[in-house]
């Protein structure tokens, strides 16, 4: 296989949770540009329709499946519809997530549970649902979107629920990778640093010192700059890689 051919996703189908905004939207476009057909799983049907149009404009098949991934019954339905409509499921990108800035002693239990349910439990639910289809098909790839927040404590804002959830994502990635390797399912995580999205307001003056200036590259990334790393993890270019966490953070975690 030629080197660049190893990055091609032609003939494969990817499902991206939370794929209609921010990093998810960038991931969906990148997967399509690499040749994959794409399923967008998210709650906002209008936003999802916009991404479907972007993917089809790139010459790939696209499908929007409305789903709340914190509800197991909707996850099972989402996977079934994706496989039935697209004919296969080769790649799952667990991207849906939420970040809430609040000191630990001010977090109500229901808010903690909301973060854990979406950022961690939904990764478990989506991964196990996808794995059943992948095992039957002979294999597949799962990429979980983690964060540098699994490795560091973000400042000046406090976000303990988010940090704990992403640490769980990284360890779950390793656990599933070890267990599912015999089934030809690779499971890796992508851990971005600060990315300019709706979730991370990187331009707020009070965040500049800790978020931007403390990093060696002294800038934030964009979804388009992170997306090629997702394509690498999703395809044959990373065929001997499983259970790894790929950190793409402008050097933030070096210190």
pLDDT digits (tens, 9 = 90+) for 136-158: 999 999 999 999 999 999 999 99
**Tens digits of per-residue pLDDT, 39-84?**
999 999 999 999 999 999 999 999 999 999 999 999 999 999 999 9
Per the structure, the complete domain to which residue 138 belongs is given by 11-250
**CATH code at 19?**
3.40.50.720
Nearest of 17, 15, 23 to residue 90 by alpha carbon: 15
Q: Which residues are catalytic?
A: 162
The residues, ordered by sequence, that sit 6+ positions from 118 with a Cβ below 8 Å of its Cβ are 69, 70, 96, 97, 98
Task: Share the mean pLDDT of the chain.
Answer: 96
* Phi, then psi, of 159 in degrees rounded to 5: -150, 60
> Quick one: 213 exposed, middle or buried, by C-beta within 10 A (0-12, 13-18, 19+)?
exposed
- How many CA atoms lie less than 13 Å away from 136 in the CB half-sphere? 9
Q: Is residue 225 part of a domain?
A: yes
CB < 8 Å & 24+ apart, contacts of 47-52: 47/20, 47/21, 48/19, 48/20, 50/20, 51/19, 51/20, 51/25
Instruction: Please state whether the predicted TM-score (pTM) of the whole model is above 0.85.
Output: yes
- The rounded distance, in Å, linking the Cα atoms of 157 and 202 is 12
Number of structural domains in the chain = 1
CA distances in angstroms from 21 to 24, 26, 87, 169, listed in the order given: 6, 8, 25, 21
In the chain, DSSP assigns E strands to 13-17, 37-42, 62-66, 91-94, 140-145, 185-192, 245-248
Nearest of 74, 111, 56 to residue 48 by alpha carbon: 56
pLDDT at 247 exceeding the cut of 70 = yes
pLDDT at 214 exceeding the cut of 90 = no
By DSSP bridging, strand 140-145 and strand 91-94 are: parallel
Q: Is residue 239 part of a domain?
A: yes
Q: Is residue 4 part of a domain?
A: no
Q: Is residue 91 part of a domain?
A: yes
Q: Is residue 2 part of a domain?
A: no
Structure tokens at 236: 């044959």
The residues, ordered by sequence, that sit 6+ positions from 168 with a Cβ below 8 Å of its Cβ are 116, 119, 120
Nearest of 67, 119, 123 to residue 98 by alpha carbon: 119
Q: Is residue 123 part of a domain?
A: yes
**Tens digits of per-residue pLDDT, 217-238?**
999 999 999 999 999 999 999 9
pLDDT number for residue 244: 98
Helix (H) or strand (E) holding 80: helix 72-86
Q: Is residue 88 part of a domain?
A: yes
Q: Is residue 6 part of a domain?
A: no
């Amino acid at each position: 296989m030629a080197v660049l051919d190893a990055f091609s996703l032609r003939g494969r189908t990817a499902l991206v949770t939370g794929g209609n905004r921010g990093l998810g939207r960038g991931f969906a476009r990148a997967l399509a540009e690499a040749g994959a057909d794409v399923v967008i799983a998210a709650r906002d049907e209008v936003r999802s329709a916009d991404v479907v149009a972007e993917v089809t404009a790139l010459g790939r098949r696209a499908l929007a499946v409305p789903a709340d991934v914190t509800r197991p019954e909707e996850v099972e339905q989402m996977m079934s519809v994706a496989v039935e409509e697209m004919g296969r499921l080769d790649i799952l990108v667990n991207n849906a997530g939420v970040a809430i800035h609040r000191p630990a002693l001010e977090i109500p239990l229901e808010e903690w549970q909301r973060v854990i349910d979406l950022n961690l439990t939904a990764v478990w639910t989506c991964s196990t649902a996808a794995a059943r289809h992948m095992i039957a098909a002979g294999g597949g790839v799962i990429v979980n979107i983690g964060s540098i927040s699994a490795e560091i404590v973000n400042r000046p804002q406090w976000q303990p629920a988010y940090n704990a959830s992403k640490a769980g994502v990284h360890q779950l990635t390793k656990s599933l990778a070890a267990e599912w390797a015999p089934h030809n399912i690779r499971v890796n995580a992508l851990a971005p640093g600060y990315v300019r999205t709706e979730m991370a307001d990187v331009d707020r003056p009070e965040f500049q010192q800790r978020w931007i200036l403390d990093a060696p590259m002294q800038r934030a990334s964009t979804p388009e700059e992170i997306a090629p790393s997702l394509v690498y993890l999703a395809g044959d270019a990373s065929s001997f890689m499983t259970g790894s966490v790929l950190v793409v953070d402008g050097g933030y975690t070096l210190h």
